[in-house]
């Protein structure tokens, strides 16, 4: 499984890269702020909403600390999606949130 740190993701966003970010935290966690442009799909719904994702795109998975996003990354990877887990999660995120 590919991985990027929160700092690396933040750098890519600052450079203007178009990233597909999926936040797998729960609703109450996302209410405290998420990475601008991130799509919210709680971990428990990934299996049921993966049809909304495009297998030709690469997705960066985000959660609170990197554990749940790792699970989501593995699941999607097993189903033929291109994914990267953001290690450290939002606990390590120092960039902008919305």
Residues with active-site annotation: 63
Strands 58-62 and 20-23 come out as parallel
Contacting residues for 62 by C-beta, under 8 A, at least 6 apart: 9, 21, 22, 23, 24, 25, 34, 35, 38, 69, 86, 89, 90, 93
Sheet holding 58-62, edge to edge: 2-5, 82-87, 58-62, 20-23, 39-40
């Amino acid at each position: 499984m590919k991985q990027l740190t929160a700092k690396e993701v933040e750098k890519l966003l600052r450079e203007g890269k178009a990233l597909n970010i999926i936040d797998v935290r729960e609703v109450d966690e996302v209410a405290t702020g998420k990475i601008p442009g991130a799509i919210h799909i709680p971990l428990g719904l990934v299996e049921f909403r993966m049809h909304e994702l495009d297998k030709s795109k690469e997705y960066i998975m985000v959660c609170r600390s990197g554990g749940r996003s790792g699970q989501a990354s593995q699941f999607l990877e097993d189903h033929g999606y291109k994914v990267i887990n953001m290690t450290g999660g939002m606990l390590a995120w120092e960039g902008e949130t919305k």
